[in-house]
Amino acid sequence: MLAISRKNAEENKKLKEEIEKLIREREVLKEKLEAEQIRSRFLEEDLENTQYELSDTRRTLSELFEAEEEIRKIEETQKKLKEEEEQQKKRKRED
């Protein structure tokens, strides 16, 4: 009977140690999960900021393309005006 009691005590001790080990592992896993959740939130914020920056960059590029188009139109108009001016000078000389 004493041997059975001793054997049960040893098994209980082993089970208790195993439970404590599992509890420690669970705590470590909880900490890792919390760290990953925090990291995930930072990554989501980073992604959101990057998307805003990309949107701003696209808008800026669009504005630049529009400005370049306006400049091109102005340059064409200036060129035409200069050509007309030269033709008028040429006509005056001919007259």
**Residue 90: its pLDDT value, please?**
85
**pLDDT tens per residue, range 19-58:** 999 999 999 999 999 999 999 999 999 999 999 999 999 9
Domain count, the chain: 1
**Residue 88: its pLDDT value, please?**
92
Is residue 78 in a domain? no
**pLDDT tens per residue, range 64-95:** 999 999 999 999 999 999 999 999 988 888 76
Full domain range(s) for residue 9: 1-70
Is residue 87 in a domain? no
If DSSP codes are grouped into helix, strand and coil, which group holds residue 1?
coil
**What type of residue sits at position 84?**
E
Buried b (16+ CB within 10 A) or exposed e, 38-70: eeeeeeeeeeeeeeeeeeeeeeeeeeeeeeeee
| The two structure tokens encoding residue 94 | 């001919």
Is residue 47 in a domain? yes
